[in-house]
Structure 1
Amino acid sequence: MKIGILQTGHGTPEMISAQGDIDRMFMKLLGARGFDFETFAVVDGIFPDTVEDADGWLITGSKHGAYEDHDWIPPLEEFIRAVHADGRPMIGVCFGHQIIAQAMGGKVEKFSGGWSVGHKSYEIEGETHHLNAWHQDQVTEVPEGARVIGHNDFCANAALIYDDRILTIQPHPEFNAEVIDLLIRTRGPGVVPEELLQSATAQLDKKTDSDRFADRMEQFFKRGA
C-alpha cells in the first residue's frame, strides 16, 4: 500500500541531522508495517497530480499556522476536500489535524491558553494515550460531520474522525524524546515559556504510546485494502 506524505514543514537542521526530516520520522514510525511512501513537499509547492497518486494520504506537522497566508495552503485545502470526496484514507497530525479541520469548515486559532509541550496524556477512543505534544494552535470549532474521539483538559478537540475517511490527531506520535529535546533547545527558547520547557525536559524519559497509536494509524490506512 502506497502512502503519500504531504509534507507541510521542515525540521530544524539539528533535527534533520539527528532524525531526518519530518517525512522520515513518519516513515520510521510506520515503516515496518508494509507501506511504501512517496513525499510531496507541498510546503515547497510540490503537489501530487491527483488523489489517485497514492492509496492513502498523511499530512505532517509544520511550524506554520493553518490560518496564515501562504500560496500552498489554498491548494492543500482543495486537495483535502478532494481526498474526502474520493473516500481513500487520510491522516493528519498536528498542523495536518488543523488544516484538515479548516479545509472542512472548522476553525483553527492560536489558543489563548498557551502552549502544550512534551509528554501529555489524552483520552482517545476511550483509552489513555501518552504522546508528545508541541503546539499552541488548536482546532477551536469542529467541522460539521467530524466527531471528537480524543481530548484532554488542555485540548478539547485533540483527535477527530470524519465519516471514517479521515483521522486526525493534535499531538505527535512521530516525535520521540530526542526530537522533543531538540525542539526544547532549538525552537523553544524565547517562544515557549521557560517553565513549560523545564517541565517538558524533566519528563523526557517518560514512555509514550506512539507505537500503539501507530497501530491505530495502520488499521485506519488498511481498512479498505
Structure 2
Amino acid sequence: MKSFAILKTDSVRPEWAERFGEYPDMFQTVLKRANPNLQFAVYDVQLGEYPDSKDQHGAYLVTGSKAGVYEDHEWLPPLENFVRDLVQADIPLIGICFGHQLVAQALGGRVGKSDRGWGVGVHRHQWRFKPDWLAMPADDFKVLVSHQDQVQQAPVGLEVLASSD
C-alpha cells in the first residue's frame, strides 16, 4: 500500500499545537483509527515542499488554513498546479475546509467570502446527492464550522454532495 500524503497549508497556533498537535498530526490520528497500517508523509507547501513525483503516494489530503485561496501568496499557484496534476492523473485527493476551497478554485470553481459573514458553531448540512458507498441514512448531518469563505460555484463536471445555508 502506498503512503498517504498530507499537504500542510498552515500551522496551528503555538499555544494550541502543544496540546493538539499540528494539522497533519490531527488527520493522522483520525485516519489511523480507520486503518492503523496507514503510512504518512507530510509536505509543508508554504515552504515549497512537494513529493519528488505525484505518483509517490496513493492519496493526498490538503489541510485547512487561515489563508484565503483567492489571496496573493507565493505558495498558492504551485499548489493549485499540483492539485490539477493530481486530478489529471486520477490520484485520490481530499480537501478539508481551505483544502476543498483550493481544489474547487484550482479546477475552475469560484471561492469568496460569504455575504452572510462568519459561520461559527455547529451547522446543519443537507445531502444534495448521496453516493452508493455512503452509509449515512439521515438526510442531513451536523458539522462544527469556523469559516467565512465558501465555494460559490462548483467546478464544471463536479457534483456537490452536501451544502448548508
Superposed displacement of residue 46, structure 1: 1.2
What amino acid maps onto 1:25 in structure 2? M
More helix by share: 1
Q: CA deviation at 1:27?
A: 0.6
Distance 2:139 2:55 in 1: 34
Match of 2:161 in 1: 149
- TM-score normalized by structure 1? 0.65
The answer to whether structure 1 residue 138 and structure 2 residue 141 are counterparts is no
Match of 1:95 in 2: 98
Determine the structure 1 residue equivalent to 2:12. Answer: 11
Aligned to 1:101, the other structure's residue is in SS state helix
- Aligned-CA RMSD value: 1.2
Deviation at residue 133 of structure 1 after TM alignment: 0.8
Instruction: Indicate yes or no: 2:124 matched with 1:121.
Output: yes
Say whether 1:74 aligns with 2:86. Answer: no
Instruction: Work out the number of aligned pairs and report it.
Output: 153
Give 1:44 shift.
Answer: 2.0
Look up the SS of the partner of 1:146 in the other structure: coil
| Unmatched tracts of structure 2, length 5 or more | 131-137
What SS is found at the alignment partner of 2:161?
strand
Distance in 1 of aligned mates of 2:82 and 2:93: 11
Partner of 2:50: 47
Q: Cα deviations across residues 189-209 of structure 1 (Å, max 9, x unaligned)? A: xxxxxxxxxxxxxxxxxxxxx
1:106 aligned to 2:106? no
Kindly report which structure 2 residues correspond to 1:134-213, keeping only aligned pairs within 5 A, or say none: 134-153=146-165
Structure 1 residue 117, shift from structure 2 partner: 1.2
Q: What is the CA–CA distance in structure 1 between the aligned matches of 2:57 and 2:22, rounded to whole Å?
A: 20
- How far 1:118 moved relative to its partner? 2.1
**Equivalents in 1 of 2:31, 2:91: separation in Å?**
18
Report the 3-state secondary structure (helix = DSSP H, G, I; strand = E; otherwise coil) of the residue aligned with 2:86.
Answer: helix
2:160 partner SS: strand
* SS, match of residue 91 in structure 1: strand
How far residue 74 of structure 1 moved from its aligned partner, in angstroms, is 0.6
Alignment correspondent of 2:86: 83
Partners in 1 of 2:158 and 2:28 — Cα distance?
A: 27
Cα 1:118/1:44, change in 2 over 3 Å: farther
Shift of 1:152: 1.5
The share of aligned pairs that are identical, in percent, is 39
Match of 2:26 in 1: 25
Per-residue CA deviations over 1:66-85 (Å, capped at 9, x if unaligned) read 01111111110111111011
